[in-house]
Amino acid sequence: MESLTLLNTLIGFDTTSRLSNLQLISFVRTYLAGYGIDSCIVENEDGSKANLYATIGPTDRPGVMLAGHTDVVPVDGQTWHSDPFQLDIRDKRAYGRGSADMKGFLASVLALVPRLAQSQLHTPVHLAFTYDEEIGCIGVRRLLEVLGGLPVLPAMGIIGEPTQMKLVAAHKGKTAWRVTARGHEGHSSNPTAGVNAVEYAAELVSYIRSLARQRRQHGPFDPLYEVPYSTLHVGTMQGGTALNIIPAHCQFDFEIRHLPEDPPQSLLDAIRNHALQVLQPEMQAVDPACGFDFSEKTSYPGLLTPPDAHVVRFVQGLLGDHTPPRKIAFGTEGGLFAERCGIPTVVCGPGDIAQAHQPDEWLALEQLAACDAFLSRLAAQLVNC
């Protein structure tokens, strides 16, 4: 099938987030131009990466946006049984980095382009391909600045993240922060003469863990999520230089993955207040230069599209499945499209998130075929509506 041929091409571009995605974007732009479709390219600040936005069909009315990211996570340290950047078909699976997350969806969308270009679409299809989603939904923000200035915005959006072609209308948001503890160095034989940055950072980590425990025990809860409460997690920590030196520096990163109905600000305020009002005065009693610094790394909102929204009913009809939409713990760009541009958005795409970011990442061929069929029904619908 054509989508498999295109998937082979897309996987061949190593678009790991630390690298450029321009070769892939150039391929897509040339591919679309071959069918008479213009593309808007929105680059990052240094021009090393780009988003692509294109409209197929009438440009003076809202339409359906099909959106996905072009970047993938690294393969460093993973053991693969085939070249991660060369499609390998075996056991009715397509193996390769990004096959599930989420070049399979992009390939299926591109495979539909010839039909869309030849159809007399009453309602347009908008394509939004972004960069740096994997490191905090960064690239899409520059695209949203451009979309916000357009006279006509999409009426709805479908983000093709891997959901096994099940409809998702809500997901958690995320905010990630870096905390730096500034201590006072000294000889470890006299701990009171210094300020141990590692120990004070550890006290704050313990406090963050207590907040996580409170959410786990007392909520708020939403049973439709696999983890039905907001979570807090400390992922990395570095500090100290030698065992016999009181450490003057410690740094750790933490994240909050929150229910859309449970904004993280109260948790962030509690963490900052504990650091600055409880721990920092003790540190500054020894050395006024000691204390804590906070810096935000990434943040994106949750998605909470009402189950009776038009986009939900529309996609349910295309799927032939009117069961209530699901909710997922992992984040997407959907919340930003909804929050920044007011585009009602859902998530639905081929593959299983359990395969994402893994060695030997794979996409079941039947999932790719199901996405092709779904998009084919979309094309038929847009000729008439």
Catalytic residue list contains 71: yes
Of the residues 101, 133, 262, 361, only one is catalytic, namely 133
Backbone torsions φ then ψ of 291, nearest 5 degrees = 155, -160
Q: Among 16-20, 59-63, 248-252, 365-369, which stretch is predicted with the lowest mean pLDDT?
A: 59-63
Give the tens place of pLDDT for each residue, 246-301.
999 999 999 999 999 999 999 999 999 999 999 999 999 999 999 999 999 999 99
Answer yes or no: do 163 and 312 share one domain: yes
Give the tens place of pLDDT for each residue, 117-159.
999 899 999 999 999 999 999 999 999 999 988 889 999 999 9
Mean pLDDT of 343-363: 97
Q: How confident is the model at residue 383 (pLDDT cuts 50, 70, 90)?
A: confident
The percentage of the chain sitting over the pLDDT mark of 90, rounded to a whole number, equals 96
Q: Which of 306, 302, 317, 308 is nearest to 64 (CA)?
A: 317
Range of the domain at 184: 173-300
pLDDT higher than 90, residue 384: no
pLDDT higher than 90, residue 385: no
302 vs 334: CA distance, rounded Å: 8
Answer yes or no: do 205 and 147 share one domain: no
Task: Give how many domains the chain has, as a whole number.
Answer: 2
Which of 300, 322, 349 marks a domain boundary?
300
Answer yes or no: do 35 and 138 share one domain: yes
Taking the model in full, what pTM does it have? Answer: 0.91
Which of 275, 300, 325 marks a domain boundary?
300
pLDDT higher than 70, residue 179: yes
Q: What is the CATH number of the domain that holds 312?
A: 3.40.630.10
76 vs 92: CA distance, rounded Å: 26
Q: Which of 256, 259, 260 is nearest to 208 (CA)?
A: 256
Which of 300, 332, 360 marks a domain boundary?
300
Q: Which of 52, 26, 32 is nearest to 41 (CA)?
A: 52
pLDDT at 148: 85
CA distances from 101 to 149, 202, 222, 236 (A): 30, 35, 26, 24
pLDDT at 1: 84
Answer yes or no: do 318 and 291 share one domain: no
Name the DSSP letter for residue 161.
-
